[in-house]
Amino acid sequence: MDIARITIAPSTASQVHDWLRKRVQRGDLPPGMRISETEVAAAIGISRQPVREAFIRLASDGLAEVRPQRGTYISRISVSAVLSARFIREAVEADLARAVAEAGPRDMLDRMADEIARQHRADEAGNVEEFIDSDDRFHHLLAQAAGQDAVWADLERLKAQMNRLRHLSMRVFDRSFTIGQHQAILDALRQGDPDAAEAAMRTHLRQMLAEVPQMAAAQPDCFTD
């Protein structure tokens, strides 16, 4: 018999937190926007307390900023935070790529190829959300192939800022370029060439170095630093 999977009903505060976090990451709630405990509570039809606790969690995620007695605001995207998260991602995923090139299970590589195919379809269909999700799964599969699934979970926290930026940039930049880089990484992994895999990954993730200042210059209200 399987272990019964018990699911407890999530608290109101937790649900509000999830709801807000998704809306912030999708850019539905734009950077700099003011949100109010009272307003959100009235809109949902609950008291202020659960909303307040959701705000606290949102602030812990770095997605909101609570200024006492002044108001709560959706965080602007910190350029330096994005760049340092990018630095960390490059270092980590370079090591992951090396590890997989040296001893990666073949079936995981096949699954990565599947994701690239999905990215082609999402690109042609103009489905930005699906493209971003598949992009994430591609990199997640790399971590799993290296036997470091937990590492990806840790990176998720750092990716919070990058995700918001990506929802802006994906409508602007060339997605087929991204797909080509994914393919280059996978090719190197398949050939079992650690140096090539690392180089391809670093090239891929350094793409952001040029894009971030460009995005920040185009929409200065959304950014800080």
Partner DNA sequence: AGCTCTTTACTTGTATGGAAGTATGGCATA
Partner DNA sequence: TATGCCATACTTCCATACAAGTAAAGAGCT
- Using CB under 7 A, list all residues that contact DNA: 8, 11-13, 35-39, 46-50, 52-53, 55, 66-72
Q: How far is the CB of 198 from a copy of itself (least distance, A)?
A: 11
Q: Which does 116 bind (CB under 5 to 8 A by kind): DNA, a copy of itself, none?
A: none
- Cβ-proximal residues to 199 (8 Å cutoff; 6+ apart), any chain: 188
CA distance 134 to 120: 10
For residues 35-55, one letter each, b for 16 or more C-beta atoms within 10 angstroms of the residue's C-beta and e for the rest, the string is bebeebbeeeeeeeebbbbbb
* Cβ atoms 211, 173 nearer than 8 A: yes
Closest CB to a copy of itself among residues 121, 206: 206
Closest CB to DNA among residues 36, 181: 36
Is residue 95 a contact point for a copy of itself (CB under 8 A)?
yes
Q: How far is the CB of 31 from a copy of itself (least distance, A)?
A: 18
Would you give the binding string for a copy of itself spanning residues 114-153, x where CB under 8 A is met? ----------------------------------x-xx-x
Q: Which does 36 bind (CB under 5 to 8 A by kind): a copy of itself, DNA, none?
A: DNA
* Cβ atoms 154, 55 nearer than 8 A: no
β-strand partners of 66: 72
With H, G, I as helix, E, B as strand and everything else as coil, classify residue 30: coil
Is residue 203 a contact point for a copy of itself (CB under 8 A)?
no
Closest CB to a copy of itself among residues 12, 36: 12
Angle, in degrees to the nearest 10, between helices 128-145 and 106-125: 170
Strands (E), the chain: 34-35, 64-67, 71-74, 77-78, 223-224
Q: Which does 72 bind (CB under 5 to 8 A by kind): DNA, a copy of itself, none?
A: DNA
- The residue range among 24-32, 80-88, 188-196, 209-217 that interacts with a copy of itself, by the rule CB under 8 A, is 80-88
